[in-house]
Every structure is written in C-alpha cells, then in structure tokens.
DNA sequence: GAGATATGTCAACAACACTGACTTATCCGC
DNA sequence: GCGGATAAGTCAGTGTTGTTGACATATCTC
C-alpha cells in the first residue's frame, strides 16, 4: 500500500532571516569597565515575529473550538474542560496544584469543580499524608468524557505534525513533534518551565 | 565579541515516536470493492499528544499574560488588544474581515471597538469602493500602543526560538522559526489556512 | 495551644462572549 | 428607479468565567 504525504499549504511569507542575538551575550568576559547589558533576542524583520504571534492566535482559536462544540452539548464550558483534563491526566492532583496550573482564583475553580463533582465526573478523596488536602480523581464517567474531548484535540495536533510543511531534509514527524514541543516549552515563562516538565515527568513515572 | 547560546531547559519526556499515518492514505487506487476509510493520523504514544496539548495551553497562558499586565494599566482587556493588533497590522481592515478573524459577534466587537475609537486609538474611514464599509486604521496613538503591546510578545517569541532545545544538526534559529510557523499554520483548520496565509501575504505586499 | 496552611463559601462585580430583534445606509441587478 | 441583498450599528437581555474581599473550618506544625 502506497501512501502520499500532502503538503496542502506552503508558507508564503519569508522565513529566511535568523535571530541575531543569543539570550545573553557573554560580554562580561571582555573587560571590566563597560556595563554588561542583557542582550535581548529580536527579529531582524518584525514581520516574522508578528506572523508567529498571529499564527499562535489562529492556532489556539481553532484548537479550543473543537472541544467547545462537544462541551456545549454537555452544558459545560472551557473552564470545565481544563479542570477535567488536568485531573484526568494527573490523578490525585490537589486544589493548590490545580490553581497553580490554571492561574485562576480558588473561587473561580470552585464553581466549575463543584459542577463536575455534583454531576459525577470528578471525585475527591482526603489526602493521606495531609488530611487537609483534597485529592482529585476522575470517575469512570469523567475518564470517558475527558477521552472524548481529548480525541478531537489529539486529532488536530497529530494532523498538524503530518501536514506541517517540511523544511529540507527534516522530513520526520517525530522531528516535527520534538520541534513543536521544544518551541512551546520555550514559550513558557523561564522560571515555570521546570515546573511544567516536572509535572509531565510525574505522568511518565506513573505509566512506568 | 564572542557569544554563547544557552539551552537552559532540555525536554525530559520522550519524543522518539513518530506519527504512523499520513493525513489521507491513497487506498482508493488499490481496488473498488473495499470502502475507502479516511485514515486519521494518530500518536503511537498518547502521552506525546497530551504533552503537546498541555504545552500549548501553558505557552498560550504565558503568552497572553504579558500584554494583559500592560492592558490593565490602560484599563483595557484582551479583546481590545486583539482588535488593536489586527487593525495595526492590517490597516484598512473592514468590520466583516475583523469579525471573521476574531470569530466573535458584531455586538461583541462593537463594544470594544467603540472604546478604542472613543479614546482615539482607532479611526474609521468610509470605504471608497463600497461606501457601506468602514475601513479601520490606527491613529498614531494606536500605533504606539500596539507597538508597546507587541514588544513584550515579540520578546517572548524571539527568546523562545533562541532558548528552544535543539535537536541534532538543526541548530539554526531561522530553522526554528520556520518550523514553529509551519506547525502553528498546520494547527489551523485546513480550509482556513489559505485565508490566513492570504491575509499575511497582504502585509508582505504592503511593505514592498 | 498558637499560628500557619488547605480548602470551602458568600457576595458583589467586571470582561467578554452570546442570542434576537431592529435600523440605517449603500450596493447591485433588473 | 425600485427592491432585495449586504455592511454596519444598536438595544436589551443573558451566561460563562474571571476578579476582589471577607470569613469559616479542618488540619498540620511547632
């Protein structure tokens, strides 16, 4: 069986220019007299940066539109999805951890969490180490719902890696995956990157 | 002057597995009898897809947090930013075009647009070809404000391309830019990709 | 036992999206 | 030039999701 990869849309705008400056220039080594400015990376052509900013907007717009359609059928919103997703993927998450992930207030979280608990998608258990904590878990119903929502987003992401226009010899979707993960991770606030990787490592560990 | 590129955070989770299937398998060519299923791309390891989904969430979360801080000082919100951004980058945009970009209702747009017009950031001109249209332009004030908001996002994106962990020989930030643009474009709804590239091409043309 | 911490809750409010209905100005085809 | 379609503006009501501020309860830690 022969298969063909199709690249339906090639990028029309210029991508040839590179970032001129590294994150920090090591000018300190040169001499002692000059002040040591932190060199900011920048785009030689502003349009490149703007294109990326806009593409992120468009990508996210369509990325959330998929689950939104399903959520509407259930009478839930995006906020419910986010909670369900993280509880599904990180069983035993505490309220405090969830608040730090979502960056919302306790009151905002509680509203949607209460909906999900009352309707049987999420269950709470008192922490064993610390009985003040409420550990969050998905019920079977919750797992199935999370799965259904995940499916459409997974499909879009997988398709993106396949459809993604290829540059030169870099023709491997595994490369595309690593590349996309690297870029998105680097978009996260630097001090927060370790927090995110640690969170995700937790999942990898649980699977093993 | 010698410079060093620093790669502060390497990805800890596995990225070695590839997408198994192309967007559409051309099984139609083989025979007539079998139904022709549309083969969906998928992840051999679900965790890879989930990681990407979560990274997109975290990246977007921090990406919008930058301008949000500035907007709060001006008494504006995210919705104002989106309008200002697109009007700034695509002068002469019509209401209908803006609605299609933002995917919101006329009423939602009007509320924030009115704020921006009243406070002198955006001006309207009646269309010349079609006098029903209201063409949108940024005032000098609007351009400066858009620039200020753009700067922080541009900084994050440029830094991401430099900080992004490199895979093998692929050590060029220009490559990283093209790669990120390709991925994000491919995340857009397929029928909409051409619309977006056409929009962006408009800007490239205007610059020439 | 005292203070810190994790969580839950009440109330009010703001931003931003929605629907539905209606108006005005303009364009385009006959 | 008339009539229907189209671009835009507006009024009114509603829902989701975020916020602040204040306060209660249970539990941990010292």
Q: What is the pLDDT of residue B16?
A: 33
C-alpha A26/C-alpha B161 separation (Å) is 19
CATH classification number, A46-164+172-179, choose in 3.40.50.150, 1.20.140.10, 1.10.10.10, 3.40.1190.20:
1.10.10.10
Q: Of all protein residues, which has its CA closest to the C1' atom of C25?
A: B132
3-state SS, residue A134: strand
Q: What is the pLDDT of residue A208?
A: 65
The partner residue sitting opposite B19, judged by closest CB among A27, A60, A161, is: A161
Task: Say yes or no: B42 contacts chain A, CB-CB below 8 A.
Answer: yes
The C-alpha of B153 sits at a distance from chain A's nearest C-alpha, in angstroms, of 7
C-alpha B164/C-alpha B145 separation (Å) is 29
Q: Does residue B130 register a pLDDT over 80?
A: yes
3-state SS, residue B126: strand
Q: What is the pLDDT of residue B44?
A: 77
Give the CA-to-C1' distance from A132 to D24 in angstroms.
Answer: 14
Tokens of A88: 């599904």
Q: What is the pLDDT of residue B60?
A: 98
Other Cβ atoms within 10 Å of A67 Cβ, number:
23
Q: Between residues B12 and B56, which one has the greater pLDDT?
A: B56
Q: Looking at chain A, list the stretches that DSSP marks H as alpha helix, in order from N- to C-terminal side.
A: 46-74, 78-89, 95-102, 106-118, 140-163, 173-187, 190-207
pLDDT digits (tens, 9 = 90+) for B178-189: 999 999 999 999
Residue carrying the six token digits 């590129």: B5
Q: What is the pLDDT of residue B26?
A: 41
Please list the ranges in chain A whose pLDDT falls under 70. 1-39, 166-171, 207-208
Domain spans, chain B: 58-156, 170-208
Q: Check if the beta carbon of residue A190 is closer than 8 Å to that of residue B163.
A: yes
The partner residue sitting opposite B23, judged by closest CB among A6, A47, A201, is: A6
Q: What is the pLDDT of residue B144?
A: 97
| Backbone φ/ψ region at B168: left (φ over 0), alpha (ψ -120 to 50), beta | left
Tokens of B58: 């975290």
Q: What is the pLDDT of residue A38?
A: 61
Task: Say yes or no: B23 contacts chain A, CB-CB below 8 A.
Answer: yes
Q: What is the pLDDT of residue B195?
A: 95
Q: Does residue B13 register a pLDDT over 90?
A: no
| Fold of domain B58-156 | Arc Repressor Mutant, subunit A (1.10.10)
Q: With CB atoms and an 8 Å threshold, state whether A185 touches B19.
A: no
**Per-residue confidence band for B85, with pLDDT thresholds at 50, 70 and 90:** very high
Q: What is the pLDDT of residue B204?
A: 74
Least confident of A83-92, A193-202, B16-25, B91-100: B16-25
Which helix or strand (DSSP H or E) is residue B191 part of?
Answer: helix B190-207
């Amino acid at each position: 069986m022969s298969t063909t990869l199709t690249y339906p849309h090639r990028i029309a705008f210029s991508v040839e220019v590179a970032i001129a400056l590294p994150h920090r220039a090591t000018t300190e080594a040169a001499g002692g007299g000059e002040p040591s400015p932190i060199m900011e990376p920048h785009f030689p052509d502003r349009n490149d940066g703007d294109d990326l900013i806009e593409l992120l907007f468009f990508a996210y717009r369509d990325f959330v539109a998929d689950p939104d359609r399903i959520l509407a059928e259930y009478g839930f919103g995006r906020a419910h999805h986010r909670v369900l997703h993280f509880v599904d993927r990180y069983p035993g998450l505490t309220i405090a951890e969830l608040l730090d992930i979502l960056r919302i207030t306790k009151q905002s979280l509680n509203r949607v969490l209460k909906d999900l608990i009352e309707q049987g998608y999420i269950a709470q258990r008192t922490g064993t180490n610390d009985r003040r904590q409420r550990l969050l878990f998905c019920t079977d119903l919750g797992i199935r719902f999370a799965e259904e929502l995940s499916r459409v987003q997974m499909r879009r992401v997988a398709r993106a890696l396949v459809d993604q226009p290829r540059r030169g010899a870099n023709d491997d979707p595994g490369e595309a995956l690593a590349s996309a993960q690297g870029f998105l991770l680097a978009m996260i606030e630097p001090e927060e990157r370790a927090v995110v990787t640690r969170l995700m490592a937790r999942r990898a560990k649980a699977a093993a």
